[in-house]
Amino acid sequence: MKNKNNRLFTLDKFIEESLYNKKHGYYMKKNPFGEGGDFITAPSISILFSEMIAIWIISFWEKLDCPKQFNLIELGAGNGEMMRVLVNTFNKFPQFKNSCKINILEKSELLKQTQKINIKDAKIKWLNNLNELNNFPCIFIANEFFDALPIKQFLKKEKKWYERHVNFSNDKKLNYLDIPFDMQKFEKKIKFKISYKQTFIEYSPLTIKYLKIIINKIKLNNGGILIIDYAYLEKEMKNTLQAVSKHKYCNVLKSFRNSDITYNLSFNLINNIIKKFGSYTSLSTTQEKFLTKIGILDRAEILSKNMPFSEKADIYFRIKRLIDESQMGHLFKVMFITNHKNKFKLGF
Ligand SMILES: C[S@@+](CC[C@H](N)C(=O)[O-])C[C@H]1O[C@@H](n2cnc3c(N)ncnc32)[C@H](O)[C@@H]1O
């Protein structure tokens, strides 16, 4: 970073340095989850969120004809809260549990240790990369994983394309610098006309890399991926880069290595990309519709039947955060990608 010849970073390199620098990166040096941290994710808002995901996974496994051995893979497990609840729920379904090989892909060593403490299941395997998976059917789960991967930004000004960089020339004050970019050459390289009808592009090379491996696993061994994330469905891409610290938005450049940097996924872009890999079923909906269709409100009613009013109110208050359209209900979207032959639609 201090190297004088190396003070200009493409945006994805800047985000990689900010979030995942081995020593100083945001996710590598602290556990940012929870009320006392910087942000809170759905599994820590309500246990019912992860229970709904557990029901969805078990139902999908049944639809796949209950394979005797299959891989469940959580991508980016954070503090391990979702997997903790999944394991507890799976323990009530012994035939399912015995068939399920649980895997976690986690980049942060610190969070890996947190996950190992929170999820007390000796059989979980922490993967170094997805190619370590054996050839069983694979069910991938990604809650707020892809929005944490570095992105590039490209912008069109007067018919010319530029790539956004971050300039470190003045250490105290970072600023953006847009540098002319050969979009045609880039599109030839990625074999995809990403700029079609766009004036602004957000593109994550790592997302493409992961989706390629995941789609290939699904093609070879059957299965699917469930993505839950900040996302939008419109075709036109927009600038959605944001940083969060202590539950408030902050300036991406002012809090280098000390804030969470995220963006909203373009589900349209993901769909266009997976089309390049072959012909797959892709379903999408809002988090509100997904959780409601699986039965989060029915489950809350059963659970709270004999509870005192204050506990009952707490359960519904938490569910409201997850499904209300002015809170997470519409901001978060859910996408399911699977082989054509699987006619599974629970939640969509
Ligand atoms: C925003 S957090 C979401 C955590 C969790 N899924 C949740 O919902 O609370 C993103 C997670 O992905 C992990 N992560 C980011 N990039 C990764 C990568 N390339 N490979 C594996 N894990 C990664 C982070 O360390 C973190 O655990």
How far from chain centre, in Å, is Cα 28?
17
User: What is the residue with the minimal CA distance to atom 12 of ligand 1?
Assistant: 76
Q: Give the whole-angstrom CA distance, residue 322 versus residue 348.
A: 17
Determine contact, residues 263/298, Cβ cutoff 8 Å.
Answer: no
- Is the CB of 41 within 6 Å of ligand 1? yes
Strand partners, 10: 165
Domains and CATH numbers, the chain: 38-149+205-339 (3.40.50.12710)
What is the residue type of 319?
Answer: I
Residue 81 CA, closest ligand 1 atom number? 9
Q: Ligand 1 centroid to 143 CA: how many Å?
A: 8
C-alpha angle 22/258/108, rounded to 5°? 35
For a ligand 1 pocket test, name from 107, 211, 334 the mutation site with the most ligand atoms within 8 angstroms of its C-beta: 107
What is the residue-level pLDDT of the chain in tens, covering all 348 positions? 444 545 899 999 999 999 999 999 999 998 999 888 999 999 999 999 999 999 999 999 999 999 999 999 999 999 999 999 999 999 999 999 999 999 999 999 999 999 999 998 778 999 999 999 999 999 999 999 999 999 999 999 999 999 999 998 766 689 999 999 999 999 999 989 999 999 999 999 999 999 999 999 999 999 999 999 999 999 999 999 999 999 999 999 998 999 999 999 999 999 999 998 988 999 999 999 999 999 999 999 999 999 999 999 999 999 999 999 999 999 999 999 999 999 999 999
Q: Give the whole-angstrom CA distance, residue 206 versus residue 34.
A: 26
User: What is the residue with the minimal CA distance to atom 25 of ligand 1?
Assistant: 108
Q: Ligand 1 centroid to 140 CA: how many Å?
A: 14
